[in-house]
Amino acid sequence: MNMDFEPDFTPEYAPFRAEVRAFLHDKLPASLRHKVLHGLRLNKDDFVLWQRILHAHGWGAPNWPLQYGGTSWNAVQQAIFDEECARAGAPRQLPFGLKMLAPVLMRFGTETQRKTLLPGIVSGDVWWCQGYSEPGAGSDLASLKTRAVRDGDDYIVTGQKTWTTLGQYADWMFCLVRTDTAAKPQQGISFLLIDMRSPGVSVRPIITLDGEHEVNEVWLDAVRVPVANRIGDENQGWTIAKYLLGHERSNIAGVGIAKRELSRLKDLVARESNPGRTLQDDPLFASRIAQLEIDLLALEITQLRMLQREDPPGPESSMLKVLGSELQQRVAELLMHAAGHRALSFEFQTPDSGNKDEDESGRLAAQYANWRKLSIFGGSNEIQNGILARALGL
């Protein structure tokens, strides 16, 4: 039975979907499409190129209102756009500026901050990274120790951040710092914007299991940060952090990417065969694919319902994060299973691999290893389940 279903994508949205597909056909560079669809490594230039192409077309910020340079698309249009981009093999738009910092600026920033910072985000000219986690403060974020001490019109910031995704490319970091050590943990935190070129900032790579330099340690050694770079009031950072995390966790759901990888799984299953029998004929494996597809459909509909709400993401974003991360991990596991022994080669990507059409099975193991992190970042799934339990009064 064909389980393909487009929730609420009624005929009125058919022209919009056709417009998005035509744009992707005409404007998505073949080199980027090849890299994404073959699981190859993307570099900074790839992400920036795609963001600038989108911005030139007026689609650089699908989730922003028109007044700030966005599209003012509704929830269904945003979902269609995300799905079509993933299906076509477009790089994922980096969320740090577009979907994390930007909503914070629109809600808590000054008009000067919005006018100064939002244009560089949507154009792709300014790369942002996130300074939340620390060696002793990950899911327990309120225990962070990076300190900011007021010195006239500046803060002097000292401490360490870790798991800073793509921080090696970043121009700026939005960062949580402790500005009051006497207050309760959640009440003594502020939200600062730090120029990564400032004296005292150093970035050190963390190489993950798949051989990727995706995350980093960031050391802050008496970094001078203007008070004007604070978002919101001093010690209001925890409120801002929770608001930002609601947007981050909703984004982790990754419905479009999961649907693309599910399609990839079906293609792989159709190609793979054992003597006299294909995986398609294995009722147990078929049932796992069917259950994955059903669960993905449920997640898609749930996310669409939440996007249509006028209120900002709340505790329900934790549900999207938990379900979305687990679904992506499940499809990565099934891809490994379908590839069988050929996935065990665990191929590391080489600089020229983007120009080859070699068998990609070995890279499935690298993807599987990398995606184990999905249930941890943005707040571990165990923490998210606790948030949901408290929201339900359990």
Check residues 343 and 48 and name the one with the higher pLDDT: 48
pLDDT band for position 209 (50/70/90)?
confident
pLDDT band for position 79 (50/70/90)?
confident
Check residues 176 and 269 and name the one with the higher pLDDT: 176
- Mean pLDDT computed over 332-355: 70
pLDDT band for position 155 (50/70/90)?
very high
- Mean pLDDT computed over 275-286: 76
Q: What percent of the chain has pLDDT over 70?
A: 88
- Among 113-122, 168-177, 230-239, 298-307, the range scoring the smallest mean pLDDT is 298-307
Q: Which amino acid is at 76?
A: V
Domains with residue ranges and CATH for the chain: 11-93 (no CATH), 128-236 (2.40.110.10), 253-391 (1.20.140.10)
**Is 293 a residue whose pLDDT tops 90?**
yes
pLDDT for the residue numbered 272: 61
The pTM for the full model equals 0.86
pLDDT for the residue numbered 348: 55
Q: What is the pLDDT of residues 252-263, one digit of tens each?
A: 778 889 999 999
Q: What is the mean pLDDT of the chain?
A: 88
- Three-state DSSP string of the chain: CCCCCCCCCCHHHHHHHHHHHHHHHHHCCHHHHHHHHCCCCCCHHHHHHHHHHHHHCCCCCCCCCHHHCCCCCCHHHHHHHHHHHHHHCCCCCCHHHHHHHHHHHHHHCCHHHHHHHHHHHHHCCCCEEEECCECCECCCHHHCCCEEEEECCEEEEEEEECCCCCHHHCCEEEEEEECCCCCCHHHCEEEEEEECCCCCEEEEEEECCCCCEEEEEEEEEEEEEEHHHEECCCCCHHHHHHHHHHHHHHHHCCHHHHHHHHHHHHHHHHHCEECCEEHHHCHHHHHHHHHHHHHHHHHHHHHHHHHCCCCCCCCHHHHHHHHHHHHHHHHHHHHHHHHHHHHHHCCCCCCCHHHCCCCCHHHHHHHHHHHHHHHCCCCCHHHHHHHHHHHCCC
Tokens, residue 218: 């960031």
pLDDT band for position 43 (50/70/90)?
very high
pLDDT for the residue numbered 147: 98
The answer to whether residue 134 is catalytic is: no
**Is 219 a residue whose pLDDT tops 80?**
yes
pLDDT for the residue numbered 312: 66
Check residues 151 and 355 and name the one with the higher pLDDT: 151
The C-alpha atoms of residue 312 and residue 314 are separated, in whole angstroms, by 6
**Is 355 a residue whose pLDDT tops 70?**
no
Check residues 302 and 205 and name the one with the higher pLDDT: 205
Q: What is the pLDDT of residues 229-279, one digit of tens each?
A: 999 999 999 999 988 877 666 667 788 899 999 998 998 888 765 555 677
Q: Which member of 83, 84, 214, 248 is catalytic?
A: 248
pLDDT for the residue numbered 270: 80
